[in-house]
Structure 1
Amino acid sequence: MISLSALYRYPLKSGKFEPLQDIRLDALGLEGDRRWMVVEESNGRFLTQRLLPQLGRIEARWQDGGRALSLRAPGMPDLLVPVPGMDEQLRGVTIWRDSLQVPDAGDAAAKWVSEFLGRPCRLVQIPEQRARQVDTAYAEPGERVHFADGFPLLLIGQASLDGLSARVGRPLEMLRFRPNLVVSGSEPFAEDGWKRIRIGTLEFRVAKPCSRCILTTIDPYTGERSADREPLATLKSYREKDGEMLFGQNLIAEGVGELRVGMPVEILE
């Protein structure tokens, strides 16, 4: 039987992972996932571990019933950041080809992230009403995404990671790939052939494979890059298509509801 074996969210884009046992799915994906982002102070351009691996050392956690975010990082004092109002202190930001106006979290948060990252930054938050349209080549008008690169959810099969680890010659951490949903009980890369699935009572469309980047070479616990460029080097040897290394599948949920580790996964198409 195929089942949901792990759930992860990332309150801060490129920040430390948060393992979950259960979570509500809202209109943008996992509730609270990737609703905060660090941007360049000068131009609003998004920042990730691709450029700043130390972003992965920032532990961001929702507090006070979703009305605030706590920030914690090595060598820094803890900081509690209130969620700004939807129309307060709007800042123009850019994430890939999308430009949008979102609330700025204020000077105290900006000072904190700037000091830790060693460059002038701002912290911004995305309310549901200001979310981006998912690429309409794969989604319906009105289907939206938070600060993720392109899609609300990412699924990876545990067997796919196990197969990759065997090829690399050492165990690889699933969190190098920053999935939201991990499933067990399927064959390696079975998810490549799925078009629609059901987890519990929720149905999902499989939108497209996920193209992987240098971020996968960063140890999710230490922030250090692999000297041998693994697992990208191995992915290139057998998972490359049109110049992209593919691993995992992007999902779009059809509806809202609850997800819980252990739920059965049914392949509908």
Structure 2
Amino acid sequence: MDVSATITRLFVYPIKSCAGVELPQATLTETGLEFDRAWMVVDEQGMFVTQRELPRMALVQPELKTFEMVLRAPGMLALHIALDKVEQPVQVTVWKDTVASYDMGDVAAQWFSDFLGKSLRLVRFNPDHRRLSSAQWTGDTEGLNQFSDGYAVLVVSEASLDGLNQRLTAAGEAEVGMQRFRPNIVLSGIDAHDEDRLDELLVTTAQGEARLRMVKPCPRCPIPNIDPRTALSTPTVGDMLQTYRQTAVVGGAVAFGMNAIVLDGVDFELRTGQAAAADYKFD
């Protein structure tokens, strides 16, 4: 095949727009990595909220355990969320989609409201609901996701981050970490932004070959400007990306990383160190 790569890091973001969890292995599901964006914070109208409006969401750190998720945040007692329990069925909105979900109860709602200073609730995606990625990008293939911005998996290469950091340091700015870009799969062994040019990513797992199709460059909002350690925002990252990452296929938006959908490999285990391969996609 045209390129060979290695999975070097795996991340899930159990609660949309809160901190991620780095894992040595993760189960692939039809909606992406297991537990990725399975929960979401909504306002009183059921509309999703993110770091765009509430940057302190970056400080909410989940920990996944065998039977529960434990949430920690500065100045807050730990909140324990059972992985197998939900409460009231509700309808919520993420972007333009109305999604069947479950409210996680008053204790979780109070915890998020107290920490973020706004009346909020925590909801969980209803696994019976089928939320489809945009057919404009997936074509005849159905791409499913939960509460992500629209696609099952985000892939970024180490070389892409290295290229950004080289530009930042040359301009007298500090390097930034991969967590700013919230990928699920990080690859080594390919050139900077080669992920933009790949067709299907084939990952060799113990159960067989998993297949992910790269479908859309990831347009970037201001979230990469937010330092995940402090929740403070400066325009440095976005300003630098503007100088070299405007991408015509997404209307000239700044893009960094590639969105993908799951074709094969549901229930397979992805692990760091696994080999991946792909061919270039030529229009």
- The TM-score range, normalised by the shorter chain, is over 0.9
Q: In the TM superposition, what is the alpha-carbon distance from 1:79 to its structure 2 partner?
A: 1.6
Distance of aligned partners of 1:127 and 1:101 in 2 relative to their CA distance in 1, 3 Å threshold = closer
Q: In the TM superposition, what is the alpha-carbon distance from 1:247 to its structure 2 partner?
A: 0.6
Q: Report the counterpart of residue 119 of structure 2 in structure 1.
A: 120
2:49 pairs with 1:47: yes
| Runs of 4+ deviating beyond 4 Å | 83-86
Q: Report the counterpart of residue 233 of structure 1 in structure 2.
A: 239
Counterpart CA distance in 1 for 2:66 and 2:10 is 22
Counterpart CA distance in 1 for 2:16 and 2:107 is 19
Instruction: Tell me if structure 2 keeps the 8 A contact 1:105–1:124.
Output: yes
Deviates more, 1:111-120 or 1:90-99: 90-99
- Secondary structure at the aligned position of 2:37 is classed as coil
- 1:3-152 equivalences under 5 Å are 3-41=6-44, 43-65=45-67, 68-83=68-83, 88-139=87-138, 140=140, 142-152=142-152
TM-score (norm 2): 0.88
Counterpart CA distance in 2 for 1:6 and 1:211 is 21
Q: In the TM superposition, what is the alpha-carbon distance from 1:85 to its structure 2 partner?
A: 5.6
Instruction: Tell me if structure 2 keeps the 8 A contact 1:85–1:103.
Output: no
Residue deviations 1:37-69 (CA, integer Å, cap 9, x gap): 10002x11101111111101111233443xx43
Say how many residue pairs are matched: 263
- Secondary structure at the aligned position of 2:35 is classed as coil
2:210 pairs with 1:202: yes
Q: Which runs of 5+ in 1 are unaligned?
A: none
TM-score (norm 1): 0.93
Give the one of 228, 240, 257 matched to 1:220.
228
2:196 pairs with 1:185: no
Percent identity of equivalent pairs: 37
Instruction: Tell me if structure 1 keeps the 8 A contact 2:104–2:122.
Output: yes
What amino acid is aligned across from residue 51 of structure 1 in structure 2? E
Instruction: Tell me if structure 2 keeps the 8 A contact 1:82–1:105.
Output: no
- Secondary structure at the aligned position of 2:186 is classed as strand
Counterpart CA distance in 1 for 2:73 and 2:156 is 28
Residue deviations 1:96-149 (CA, integer Å, cap 9, x gap): 111122100011110111000000000000132124111112234643101100
- Secondary structure at the aligned position of 1:251 is classed as strand
What amino acid is aligned across from residue 149 of structure 2 in structure 1? D
Q: In the TM superposition, what is the alpha-carbon distance from 1:249 to its structure 2 partner?
A: 0.2
- 1:252-263 equivalences under 5 Å are 252-255=261-264, 256=266, 257-263=268-274
What amino acid is aligned across from residue 265 of structure 1 in structure 2? A
